[in-house]
Amino acid sequence: MKVLVTGGAGFIGANFVQQTVRERPDAEVTVLDALTYAGDRGSLAPVAERVRLVEGSITDAVLVDRLVGEADVVVHFAAESHNDNSLDDPSPFVQTNLVGTFTLLEAVRKHGTRFHHISTDEVYGDLELDDPAKFTPETPYNPSSPYSSTKAGSDLLVRAWVRSFGVRATISNCSNNYGPYQHVEKFIPRQITNLLDGVRPRLYGAGRNVRDWIHVEDHNTAVWAVIDHGRIGETYLIGADGEQNNLDVVRTLLELFGREPDDFDHVADRPGHDLRYAIDATRLRDELGWTPRYTEFRDGLAATIEWYRGNEAWWRPAKAATEAKYARTGQ
Residues acting as catalytic residues: 121-122, 147
**Gap between the Cα atoms of 302 and 26, Å rounded:** 33
Q: Quick one: which segment of 53-61, 156-164, 196-204, 321-329 binds ligand NAD (CB under 6 A)? A: 53-61
Nearest residue to 211 (alpha-carbon basis) of 279, 133, 305, 138: 279
Helix (H, G, I), strand (E, B) or coil at 306: helix
Q: Looking at beta carbons only, is 59 or 235 nearer to ligand NAD?
A: 59
Measured from the CB of residue 75, what is the shortest distance to ligand NAD in angstroms? 10
Q: Among the candidate windows 45-53, 55-63, 66-74, 272-280, which touches ligand NAD by CB under 6 A?
A: 55-63
The only residue of 109, 211, 219, 319 in contact with ligand TDX, by rule CB under 6 A = 211
186 Cβ contact list (under 8 Å, min separation 6): 11, 82
For position 18 contacting ligand TDX by CB under 6 A, the verdict is: no
Binding flag, residue 193, ligand TDX (CB under 6 A): no
3-state secondary structure of 172: strand
Does 33 engage in binding with ligand NAD (CB under 6 A)? yes
CB-neighbour burial class of residue 313 (10 A; exposed 0-12, middle 13-18, buried 19+) = exposed
> Is position 81 an interface residue for ligand TDX (rule: CB under 6 A)?
yes
- Beta bridge partners, 189, equal none
Q: Is position 15 an interface residue for ligand TDX (rule: CB under 6 A)?
A: no
Q: Is 208 in the site for ligand TDX (CB under 6 A)?
A: no
The answer to whether residue 120 forms part of the interface with ligand TDX (CB under 6 A) is: yes
Q: How far is CA 37 from the centre of its chain?
A: 15
18 is an interface residue for ligand NAD by CB under 6 A: no
Whichever of 119 and 194 has its CB closer to ligand NAD, that residue is 119
- Footprint (CB under 6 A) of ligand TDX, residues 221-250: 246
Q: Which of 103, 154, 176, 220 binds ligand TDX (CB under 6 A)?
A: 176
Query: Could you give the residue ranges of the DSSP H alpha helices within the chain?
Result: 11-23, 61-70, 83-88, 91-93, 101-111, 146-165, 187-196, 216-229, 246-256, 282-288, 297-310, 312-328
> Which residues of this protein are in contact with ligand TDX, per CB under 6 A?
81-83, 120, 122, 176, 186-187, 190, 202-204, 209, 211, 246, 270
